[in-house]
Amino acid sequence: MTIKWGILGAGRIAKKFAEDFKVVNNGTIIAVASRSQDRSTEFAHEFEIPKAYSSYEEMVKNSDIDVVYIATPHNFHLEHARLCLNNGKSVLCEKPVTVNSAEFELLQNLAKEKNLFFMEALWTYYLPAIIEAMNWIREGKIGEVKQVQVSFGYAGNMDEKIRLANPDLAGGALLDIGIYGIAIAELVFDEEIEDIQAMAHFSKTGIDDYNSIQLKYINGGLAQISSSLVSELKNEAVICGTKGRIEIPQFWMAKKAFLISPDKKLEFINKELQLGYNHEAFAVNELLKKGAVESSVIPLLKSKRILSIMDQVREQIGLKYPFEK
Protein backbone atom coordinates (compact mmCIF):
# COMPACT_ATOMS: atom_id res chain seq x y z
CA MET A 1 0.00 0.00 0.00
CA THR A 2 1.45 3.34 -1.08
CA ILE A 3 0.13 6.44 0.66
CA LYS A 4 -0.74 9.27 -1.72
CA TRP A 5 -0.06 12.86 -0.70
CA GLY A 6 -1.18 16.30 -1.66
CA ILE A 7 0.81 19.40 -0.69
CA LEU A 8 -1.18 22.50 0.19
CA GLY A 9 1.05 25.53 -0.31
CA ALA A 10 4.07 25.77 -2.59
CA GLY A 11 6.51 27.92 -0.63
CA ARG A 12 9.95 27.40 0.89
CA ILE A 13 8.99 24.81 3.53
CA ALA A 14 6.88 22.85 1.05
CA LYS A 15 9.92 22.60 -1.24
CA LYS A 16 12.11 21.29 1.58
CA PHE A 17 9.48 18.68 2.41
CA ALA A 18 9.13 17.62 -1.24
CA GLU A 19 12.90 17.40 -1.69
CA ASP A 20 13.30 15.11 1.33
CA PHE A 21 10.27 13.07 0.25
CA LYS A 22 12.33 11.76 -2.71
CA VAL A 23 13.85 9.12 -0.40
CA VAL A 24 10.52 8.13 1.20
CA ASN A 25 9.69 4.68 -0.19
CA ASN A 26 6.26 4.12 1.33
CA GLY A 27 4.43 7.09 -0.16
CA THR A 28 4.19 9.34 -3.18
CA ILE A 29 3.21 12.97 -3.79
CA ILE A 30 0.53 13.12 -6.46
CA ALA A 31 -0.68 16.72 -6.22
CA VAL A 32 0.28 20.23 -5.18
CA ALA A 33 -1.89 23.32 -4.84
CA SER A 34 -1.08 27.02 -4.72
CA ARG A 35 -3.21 30.11 -5.19
CA SER A 36 -1.03 30.77 -8.25
CA GLN A 37 -1.27 28.31 -11.14
CA ASP A 38 2.20 29.31 -12.35
CA ARG A 39 3.72 28.65 -8.95
CA SER A 40 1.90 25.35 -8.60
CA THR A 41 2.93 24.22 -12.09
CA GLU A 42 6.55 25.19 -11.47
CA PHE A 43 6.56 23.27 -8.18
CA ALA A 44 5.00 20.21 -9.80
CA HIS A 45 7.55 20.29 -12.62
CA GLU A 46 10.50 20.59 -10.21
CA PHE A 47 9.40 17.60 -8.10
CA GLU A 48 7.75 15.52 -10.85
CA ILE A 49 4.29 15.74 -9.28
CA PRO A 50 1.44 14.70 -11.64
CA LYS A 51 -1.22 17.26 -10.64
CA ALA A 52 -0.88 21.02 -10.13
CA TYR A 53 -3.87 22.99 -8.85
CA SER A 54 -4.52 26.70 -8.50
CA SER A 55 -7.23 26.01 -5.93
CA TYR A 56 -6.89 24.31 -2.55
CA GLU A 57 -10.59 23.45 -2.71
CA GLU A 58 -10.12 21.65 -6.00
CA MET A 59 -7.13 19.64 -4.82
CA VAL A 60 -8.79 18.29 -1.66
CA LYS A 61 -11.65 16.93 -3.80
CA ASN A 62 -9.17 14.63 -5.55
CA SER A 63 -10.34 11.22 -4.31
CA ASP A 64 -6.91 9.64 -4.84
CA ILE A 65 -5.27 11.74 -2.10
CA ASP A 66 -4.97 10.06 1.31
CA VAL A 67 -3.25 12.81 3.28
CA VAL A 68 -2.44 16.48 2.84
CA TYR A 69 0.69 18.25 4.05
CA ILE A 70 -0.23 21.84 4.93
CA ALA A 71 2.67 24.24 4.41
CA THR A 72 0.94 27.61 4.43
CA PRO A 73 1.58 30.38 7.02
CA HIS A 74 0.25 29.36 10.42
CA ASN A 75 -2.50 31.98 10.55
CA PHE A 76 -4.17 29.97 7.75
CA HIS A 77 -3.75 26.55 9.36
CA LEU A 78 -7.19 26.43 10.96
CA GLU A 79 -8.92 27.27 7.68
CA HIS A 80 -6.83 24.91 5.57
CA ALA A 81 -6.84 21.96 7.96
CA ARG A 82 -10.58 22.31 8.35
CA LEU A 83 -10.94 22.28 4.55
CA CYS A 84 -8.93 19.06 4.31
CA LEU A 85 -10.69 17.27 7.15
CA ASN A 86 -14.14 18.24 5.87
CA ASN A 87 -13.19 16.69 2.55
CA GLY A 88 -12.10 13.41 4.08
CA LYS A 89 -8.35 13.99 3.98
CA SER A 90 -5.96 13.13 6.77
CA VAL A 91 -3.68 16.02 7.73
CA LEU A 92 -0.04 16.65 8.54
CA CYS A 93 0.08 20.36 9.37
CA GLU A 94 3.20 22.47 9.76
CA LYS A 95 4.05 23.84 13.17
CA PRO A 96 2.56 25.59 14.98
CA VAL A 97 -0.46 23.55 13.99
CA THR A 98 -2.69 26.51 14.92
CA VAL A 99 -2.15 29.98 16.36
CA ASN A 100 -3.68 29.12 19.75
CA SER A 101 -5.07 26.18 21.70
CA ALA A 102 -8.71 27.20 21.12
CA GLU A 103 -8.23 26.83 17.36
CA PHE A 104 -6.50 23.51 17.92
CA GLU A 105 -9.44 22.13 19.88
CA LEU A 106 -11.72 22.87 16.92
CA LEU A 107 -9.50 20.82 14.60
CA GLN A 108 -8.93 18.06 17.13
CA ASN A 109 -12.68 17.63 17.56
CA LEU A 110 -13.27 17.71 13.81
CA ALA A 111 -10.60 15.07 13.15
CA LYS A 112 -12.15 12.87 15.84
CA GLU A 113 -15.62 13.36 14.38
CA LYS A 114 -14.36 12.41 10.90
CA ASN A 115 -12.15 9.60 12.26
CA LEU A 116 -9.18 11.01 10.33
CA PHE A 117 -5.47 11.11 11.07
CA PHE A 118 -4.29 14.52 12.30
CA MET A 119 -0.77 15.48 13.34
CA GLU A 120 1.41 18.53 13.80
CA ALA A 121 4.53 18.45 11.63
CA LEU A 122 6.97 18.92 14.49
CA TRP A 123 9.69 17.18 12.48
CA THR A 124 12.38 17.67 15.16
CA TYR A 125 10.91 14.86 17.27
CA TYR A 126 11.60 12.35 14.48
CA LEU A 127 15.24 13.31 13.85
CA PRO A 128 17.71 10.48 14.58
CA ALA A 129 20.02 12.78 16.61
CA ILE A 130 17.13 13.80 18.88
CA ILE A 131 16.02 10.18 19.25
CA GLU A 132 19.58 9.17 20.21
CA ALA A 133 19.81 11.99 22.77
CA MET A 134 16.56 10.81 24.34
CA ASN A 135 17.91 7.25 24.43
CA TRP A 136 20.96 8.49 26.35
CA ILE A 137 18.66 10.20 28.85
CA ARG A 138 16.47 7.12 29.30
CA GLU A 139 19.58 4.97 29.80
CA GLY A 140 20.67 7.27 32.64
CA LYS A 141 23.89 8.33 30.93
CA ILE A 142 23.65 11.91 32.25
CA GLY A 143 21.84 11.03 35.46
CA GLU A 144 18.74 12.95 36.48
CA VAL A 145 17.98 15.83 34.13
CA LYS A 146 17.72 19.14 35.97
CA GLN A 147 17.92 21.86 33.34
CA VAL A 148 17.40 22.46 29.64
CA GLN A 149 18.93 25.54 28.02
CA VAL A 150 17.82 26.32 24.49
CA SER A 151 18.55 29.17 22.12
CA PHE A 152 17.45 29.78 18.53
CA GLY A 153 18.08 33.15 16.95
CA TYR A 154 19.41 34.87 13.88
CA ALA A 155 19.64 38.42 12.56
CA GLY A 156 16.99 38.24 9.87
CA ASN A 157 15.36 40.66 7.50
CA MET A 158 12.59 42.30 9.49
CA ASP A 159 11.20 44.46 6.71
CA GLU A 160 7.58 45.33 7.49
CA LYS A 161 6.39 43.52 4.36
CA ILE A 162 7.69 40.06 5.24
CA ARG A 163 5.55 37.42 6.98
CA LEU A 164 7.66 37.20 10.15
CA ALA A 165 7.16 40.90 10.88
CA ASN A 166 3.45 40.92 10.09
CA PRO A 167 1.01 40.55 13.01
CA ASP A 168 -1.83 39.84 10.57
CA LEU A 169 0.08 36.69 9.58
CA ALA A 170 0.84 35.72 13.20
CA GLY A 171 4.47 36.76 12.86
CA GLY A 172 7.05 36.95 15.59
CA ALA A 173 9.78 34.88 17.21
CA LEU A 174 7.61 32.82 19.58
CA LEU A 175 5.33 31.04 17.14
CA ASP A 176 7.87 30.71 14.36
CA ILE A 177 11.00 29.52 16.18
CA GLY A 178 10.35 29.72 19.94
CA ILE A 179 8.07 26.72 19.59
CA TYR A 180 11.11 24.53 18.89
CA GLY A 181 12.68 25.32 22.26
CA ILE A 182 9.42 24.72 24.09
CA ALA A 183 9.05 21.43 22.22
CA ILE A 184 12.49 20.28 23.38
CA ALA A 185 11.68 21.13 27.00
CA GLU A 186 8.39 19.25 26.70
CA LEU A 187 10.13 16.24 25.17
CA VAL A 188 12.76 16.05 27.90
CA PHE A 189 10.66 16.74 31.01
CA ASP A 190 7.20 15.52 29.92
CA GLU A 191 5.61 16.74 33.16
CA GLU A 192 3.06 19.29 34.25
CA ILE A 193 4.31 22.87 34.47
CA GLU A 194 4.35 24.64 37.82
CA ASP A 195 5.31 28.13 36.62
CA ILE A 196 5.95 30.17 33.47
CA GLN A 197 7.86 33.44 33.28
CA ALA A 198 8.28 35.29 30.02
CA MET A 199 9.63 38.56 28.69
CA ALA A 200 9.78 39.94 25.17
CA HIS A 201 10.77 42.92 23.08
CA PHE A 202 8.33 44.19 20.46
CA SER A 203 9.16 45.44 17.00
CA LYS A 204 7.63 48.55 15.48
CA THR A 205 5.14 46.31 13.65
CA GLY A 206 3.86 44.89 16.96
CA ILE A 207 5.33 41.39 16.99
CA ASP A 208 7.81 39.86 19.45
CA ASP A 209 11.17 40.07 17.68
CA TYR A 210 13.02 38.47 20.60
CA ASN A 211 11.96 36.83 23.83
CA SER A 212 13.05 34.85 26.87
CA ILE A 213 10.99 32.14 28.58
CA GLN A 214 11.50 30.14 31.76
CA LEU A 215 9.50 27.01 32.50
CA LYS A 216 9.44 25.28 35.88
CA TYR A 217 8.12 21.72 35.91
CA ILE A 218 6.57 20.03 38.93
CA ASN A 219 9.40 17.47 39.00
CA GLY A 220 11.86 20.34 39.57
CA GLY A 221 13.07 20.61 36.00
CA LEU A 222 13.89 24.09 34.69
CA ALA A 223 13.96 25.19 31.07
CA GLN A 224 15.40 28.46 29.79
CA ILE A 225 14.40 29.25 26.23
CA SER A 226 15.51 32.20 24.12
CA SER A 227 14.44 32.99 20.58
CA SER A 228 15.20 35.94 18.33
CA LEU A 229 14.61 37.21 14.82
CA VAL A 230 17.10 40.07 15.21
CA SER A 231 20.20 38.62 16.93
CA GLU A 232 22.57 35.71 16.45
CA LEU A 233 22.16 33.31 19.37
CA LYS A 234 24.20 30.18 20.05
CA ASN A 235 21.54 28.00 18.42
CA GLU A 236 21.82 24.87 20.49
CA ALA A 237 20.04 22.79 23.09
CA VAL A 238 21.95 21.79 26.21
CA ILE A 239 20.38 19.14 28.44
CA CYS A 240 22.04 19.13 31.87
CA GLY A 241 21.91 16.20 34.27
CA THR A 242 23.50 15.18 37.56
CA LYS A 243 26.15 13.08 35.76
CA GLY A 244 26.78 15.05 32.59
CA ARG A 245 25.18 16.98 29.75
CA ILE A 246 24.06 16.56 26.16
CA GLU A 247 24.80 19.28 23.61
CA ILE A 248 22.77 19.40 20.39
CA PRO A 249 23.91 22.01 17.86
CA GLN A 250 21.12 23.43 15.67
CA PHE A 251 18.75 21.23 17.63
CA TRP A 252 15.63 21.98 15.54
CA MET A 253 17.30 20.36 12.50
CA ALA A 254 19.80 18.28 14.49
CA LYS A 255 22.41 16.20 12.73
CA LYS A 256 24.67 15.81 15.75
CA ALA A 257 24.44 15.14 19.48
CA PHE A 258 27.28 15.05 22.00
CA LEU A 259 27.26 13.54 25.47
CA ILE A 260 29.84 14.98 27.85
CA SER A 261 30.45 13.64 31.36
CA PRO A 262 33.45 13.23 33.69
CA ASP A 263 33.97 9.59 32.66
CA LYS A 264 32.81 9.46 29.04
CA LYS A 265 32.25 11.32 25.81
CA LEU A 266 29.86 10.07 23.16
CA GLU A 267 28.86 11.51 19.83
CA PHE A 268 26.14 10.79 17.33
CA ILE A 269 26.46 12.10 13.77
CA ASN A 270 23.78 11.60 11.14
CA LYS A 271 25.41 11.73 7.70
CA GLU A 272 22.20 11.60 5.68
CA LEU A 273 22.03 14.25 2.98
CA GLN A 274 18.36 15.00 3.66
CA LEU A 275 17.34 17.75 6.08
CA GLY A 276 15.13 15.26 7.93
CA TYR A 277 11.54 15.90 6.83
CA ASN A 278 11.64 12.40 5.32
CA HIS A 279 11.53 10.80 8.77
CA GLU A 280 8.18 12.33 9.75
CA ALA A 281 6.76 11.63 6.28
CA PHE A 282 7.78 7.97 6.46
CA ALA A 283 6.29 7.70 9.95
CA VAL A 284 2.97 9.22 8.84
CA ASN A 285 2.76 6.74 5.96
CA GLU A 286 3.27 3.82 8.33
CA LEU A 287 0.66 5.15 10.74
CA LEU A 288 -1.88 5.64 7.97
CA LYS A 289 -1.31 2.11 6.69
CA LYS A 290 -2.12 0.86 10.21
CA GLY A 291 -5.28 2.94 10.37
CA ALA A 292 -3.99 5.18 13.18
CA VAL A 293 -5.61 8.57 13.79
CA GLU A 294 -2.70 10.15 15.67
CA SER A 295 1.00 9.70 16.40
CA SER A 296 2.43 8.46 19.70
CA VAL A 297 5.57 10.54 18.99
CA ILE A 298 3.64 13.78 18.51
CA PRO A 299 0.27 13.00 20.09
CA LEU A 300 -2.47 15.60 19.93
CA LEU A 301 -2.16 16.11 23.68
CA LYS A 302 1.48 17.17 23.24
CA SER A 303 0.59 19.67 20.50
CA LYS A 304 -2.15 21.11 22.69
CA ARG A 305 0.23 21.42 25.66
CA ILE A 306 2.79 23.30 23.59
CA LEU A 307 0.11 25.65 22.27
CA SER A 308 -1.20 26.17 25.80
CA ILE A 309 2.30 27.16 26.96
CA MET A 310 2.58 29.63 24.10
CA ASP A 311 -0.88 31.00 24.94
CA GLN A 312 0.30 31.69 28.49
CA VAL A 313 3.55 33.23 27.28
CA ARG A 314 1.63 35.52 24.94
CA GLU A 315 -0.70 36.53 27.74
CA GLN A 316 2.28 37.47 29.91
CA ILE A 317 4.08 39.47 27.23
CA GLY A 318 0.88 41.02 25.88
CA LEU A 319 0.94 39.59 22.36
CA LYS A 320 -2.43 39.29 20.65
CA TYR A 321 -2.89 39.13 16.90
CA PRO A 322 -5.40 41.44 15.17
CA PHE A 323 -7.52 38.52 13.91
CA GLU A 324 -7.92 36.98 17.39
CA LYS A 325 -11.18 37.84 19.17
| Contacts with 180 (C-beta within 8 Å, 6 or more apart), sequence order | 124, 150, 152, 227, 251, 252
pLDDT value for 157: 81
| Numbers of helices and strands, H then E, in the chain | 10, 14
Q: What is the mean pLDDT of residues 186-190?
A: 97
Q: Say how many CA atoms lie within 13 Å of 320 toward its Cβ.
A: 7
pLDDT value for 198: 98
Angle in degrees, 0-180, between the axes of helices 179-189 and 300-317, rounded to the nearest 10: 130
Note if the pTM is more than 0.95: yes
Confidence of residue 214 (pLDDT cuts 50, 70, 90): very high
pLDDT value for 306: 98
**How many other CB atoms are there within 10 angstroms of residue 12's CB atom?**
9
Residue 1 pLDDT > 90, yes or no?
A: no
Percentage of residues in the chain having pLDDT higher than 90: 97
* Structure confidence by residue, pLDDT tens digits, 103-151: 999 999 999 999 999 999 999 999 999 999 999 999 999 999 999 999 9
Q: What is the mean pLDDT of residues 280-297?
A: 98
Confidence of residue 206 (pLDDT cuts 50, 70, 90): very high
pLDDT value for 262: 95
Residue 166 pLDDT > 90, yes or no?
A: yes
**How many other CB atoms are there within 10 angstroms of residue 208's CB atom?**
27
Confidence of residue 29 (pLDDT cuts 50, 70, 90): very high
CA-CA distance, 84 to 60, in Å (whole number)? 6
Round to the nearest angstrom and report the end-to-end CA distance of the chain: 44
* Cβ atoms 118, 294 nearer than 8 A: yes
Helix/strand/coil for 244: coil
Confidence of residue 158 (pLDDT cuts 50, 70, 90): confident
pLDDT value for 160: 77
pLDDT value for 184: 98
Tell me what the pLDDT averaged over the chain comes to. 97
* Structure confidence by residue, pLDDT tens digits, 81-95: 999 999 999 999 999
Q: What is the mean pLDDT of residues 298-322?
A: 98
Instruction: Identify the DSSP state of 277.
Output: H
pLDDT value for 304: 98
* Structure confidence by residue, pLDDT tens digits, 42-96: 999 999 999 999 999 999 999 999 999 999 999 999 999 999 999 999 999 999 9
